[in-house]
Structure 1
Amino acid sequence: MSQLFFSNYTNEIENLLKNDLLKSTYCGMFDDLEKLVTLADRIAISCQKHPHFTNISSFLKNIERAFTDPNDADQASQVLLNVEKWIKPVLYFSDKERWEKLNQEKHYFTLKPTVTQLRLLSQQEMEEESPDAFEDVGKKYIWIAINSRNYETHNTALSSSELRLNYLRCAMTIILVHST
């Protein structure tokens, strides 16, 4: 796996997200996209060398396969299903104390509490009933990621193909917004 994994996909990331997120709280991330992908590369490298996060390589392979065919809903779904492999190390490297607290109860250390700890959505936003409640597309993608991931992971329901095609956008939004 390349040391510059995310940097190698800068154009794909921009093409995937820019039009949607220009109307979002996170629109400024495109001004600093080079810095964000460099930070993401550094996190990926740190994960590969850290005993808790060596499974990041399989997640990066999921992203690579999804970018090969952005219209493949199954590949996009795999990225979303595994986004925890990314977001947990982000919490670890940004606030080890909060990570350790959540890690004590591994059963409850899932995507939703991690997103909560990183304050990517407010409590009120987390409790919304539908993604339609969001005018901000970035926050909508994060909400979809949290809620759809649970349905798909636990086979309680499969989302429509149209929604599943947005999973790559949802996962990449979570990956990048942690540092805006």
Structure 2
Amino acid sequence: MKGRTWSQGVTVWLTGLSGAGKSTLARALAAVLLTEGRRVEVLDGDEIRTTLSAGLGFSRADRDTNVLRVGLVAELLARNDVIVLVPVIAPYRDTRRAVRERHERNGVAYLEVHVAAPVEVCAERDVKGLYAGQRAGLVTALTGVDDPYETPEAPDLRIDTDRQSVAESVAALRRLVEDRSGG
């Protein structure tokens, strides 16, 4: 919106493959920020899928709808001075770009963080059993395996969770948030 001042809230979108560590990092960062008295919300992709986006499948259109819904909620919270951590795969660049543009139109900061790990590492972690299910033929359209994942071209931050500890990754995320939110 023209003439609007930027809010102190920010959306931090953590994108990456299943098992890369998005939710782990979001929860760990939220815990740190909450102890500092910051207003923080985590919009976890798995939780959103069972509530706000219940009934959506994994077609391109359904994935885009899910990401746009989450983006709207994140933008509304961040507009009201909440630090919003969004660990959601969001596999397509153009949909992530649409979410960023909505934030910018409304004077709300949006930071894209690529939480990266090789698919082999994600498959070893496989906390949800998705990779094992895909190998057994029970899961199809697994992002990064038999469905595309479009790596961010210019993320605000890239975290390689196969090379960085959770503590190192959270510290990098915290610096990014502090630089943007002035906190």
> Which one has the largest radius of gyration?
2
Instruction: Answer 1 or 2: higher relative contact order, Cα 8 Å, separation at least 6.
Output: 2
**Greater share of residues in strand:** 2
**TM-score after normalising by structure 2:** 0.28
